[in-house]
A = this chain, B = another copy of it.
Amino acid sequence: MKLISVVLSGGAGTRLWPASRQAYPKPFMKLGGSALLEQAITRGQACGTDDLLIVTNQDHLFLTQGLLSDMADPPRVRYLLEPKGRNTAPAIALAALDCQAAHGDDAVMLVLPADHLIPDTEAFVANALEAVRQAQKGRLVVFGIQPTSPETGFGYIEVAKLGRDVQPVLKFVEKPDLATAQEYLATGRFYWNSGMFCFTAGAMLAALAQHAPDVLQAAGKALAQSTSQAMSLPDEPNPPHVTRFHAHSFGLQPDISIDYAVMERADNVTLVPARFGWSDVGAWPAVAQAHTPDASGNTLGAADGADWVAVNTTGTHVHVDSHCHKVVATVGVQDLVVVDTPDALLVTTKREAQNVKRVVDALKERHINSPHHQSTLLPPAVHRPWGTYATLKEEDGYKVKRITVKPGQSLSLQYHHQRAEHWMLVHGRGIVQIGDTEHPTLPGQYHYIPLKEKHRLTNTGPDELVLIEVQCGDYLGEDDIVRLADTYGRS
């Protein structure tokens, strides 16, 4: 038997704004020392999985691959790259077809959303292996979470009685209103639907064929028109296998959840009650709960360099982005959440933190053509396959950027129509190509890139390379770039 970890990595980055963004959603947020996505992968590895399949948006490939290559034991990955966000039924159908093709009908799929927090891996593994045994009997297994409050943000699963044992599912129900949720809680017969599943590829494909043939058929067509290849990345000992879809055939797949398409209808669904602590980190209060509070119930989620002075402050969570080096002071406040990033600041109560989504909506509407709109889209530091860049200052006529390049990586060979660039290397070592000449460069050294001159930056040292770039010109948009050659297939 092969055990496959199927990690669903997505999200709109709205409920944990401004720390999460559309281009940097929840799976990439660090909580408890590592990104939630990394934790999901590690959790699967701990179960002894033989292969890792990540279903994610194509825009997140390099960010994901960068995160994986920084792991102590970087796994080999198969990617299914979605051209746009789709629901869980298409994602799981595609994953099941992929697993069947690669490992046969008996391959057991352990489906893990990439944005859950499960601190106790050992407890999870014991539970997961129980689910695997059920899956091998042909069951469709769902992990149920014993409810602690009448949450309206989860689907619910009805069984005969809450307990510690595996039992058949009586009914799946959608996200309830508050009154219904309270009713469910009172009966002692309802679990929260965790969104974690386990089944063989064959069982899932049979269930899809029976209950949602349109989903299965559309997934088959999308896969038939996809292209698959092992990616060649420089200095990558474990090149990932990547499947890309055509936007059209991919988009023809129905936008429905696996709960609705299959779980509500199938009669072979089994529930494994979770015997581990679990959070879907749905809003800022859940982030606060993942931190150890001080004597006043305050929690600090911050990188080094953050410094918090709390006067008459209780139950408050402060999150300072690693790119903000500043003092945060709170005076006379209770149960607040304060999140500071270089381009956006959020102050909310824990009680109303779920309304942060409305801020993102308002910003999208208000600023569709403004630079502030990007605070809903882009993270303060933009991740690229070769490293990162962050804008330090932008005014009429110039822009100052801090650029980092990973060891062994290169920016594309490129030129700009409307801007000249001053480059100062301040950390690491590299080669700056200008025109056809390559200049070995050390910290403190400077290069001038004239308008329309081709140029390229490569890190040739063992450490991260850091460059300060001052762009001068009338137009400084990111789209003024002509790529002549690119290691990452973007030219």
Contact = CB atoms under 8 A, between A and B. Distances in A.
B355 A395 contact: no
B359 A309 contact: yes
Interface in A36-84: none
Nearest to A344: B327
A428 to B, nearest CB: 10
A93 B372 CA distance: 53
A352 interface: yes
Interface in A384-424: 392-393, 395-398, 400, 402, 420, 422, 424
Interface residues of A, number: 62
B395 A466 contact: yes
Contacts of A344: 326-329
Contacts of A477: none
Nearest to A451: B444
Interface stretch (A143-151, A175-183, A215-223, A333-341): A333-341
A427 B352 contact: no
A267 interface: no
B333 A347 contact: yes
A362 B311 CA distance: 9
Q: Taking each of A343, A358, A424, which has the highest tally of chain B beta carbons within 10 Å of its own beta carbon?
A: A424
A227 interface: no
A443 interface: yes
A341 B324 CA distance: 11
Contacts of A239: none
Main secondary structure on A side of the interface with B: strand
Contacts of A345: 326-329, 338, 340, 345
Contact of A422 (B312, B343, B424): B424
A254 interface: no
A472 B349 contact: no
A375 B473 CA distance: 34
A330 interface: yes
Interface string A343-378: 111111101110110110011001100001001000
B351 A397 contact: no
A333 B349 contact: yes
B333 A348 contact: yes
A396 B332 contact: no
B331 A348 contact: yes
A439 interface: no
A104 to B, nearest CB: 50
A325 interface: yes
Given A326-B375, A446-B448, 19 more contacts: A17-B329, A309-B362, A311-B355, A326-B343, A327-B375, A328-B345, A328-B347, A329-B344, A331-B349, A331-B352, A333-B349, A336-B347, A392-B392, A396-B427, A397-B427, A400-B402, A422-B446, A444-B472, A444-B473
Interface of A: 17-18, 307, 309, 311-312, 325-333, 336, 338, 340-349, 351-353, 355-356, 358-359, 362-363, 366-367, 372, 375, 392-393, 395-398, 400, 402, 420, 422, 424, 426-427, 443-444, 446, 448, 466, 468, 470, 472-473
The 7 A-B pairs with the shortest beta carbon distances in the complex, nearest first, are: A332-B352, A331-B348, A398-B426, A444-B472, A329-B359, A332-B349, A327-B344
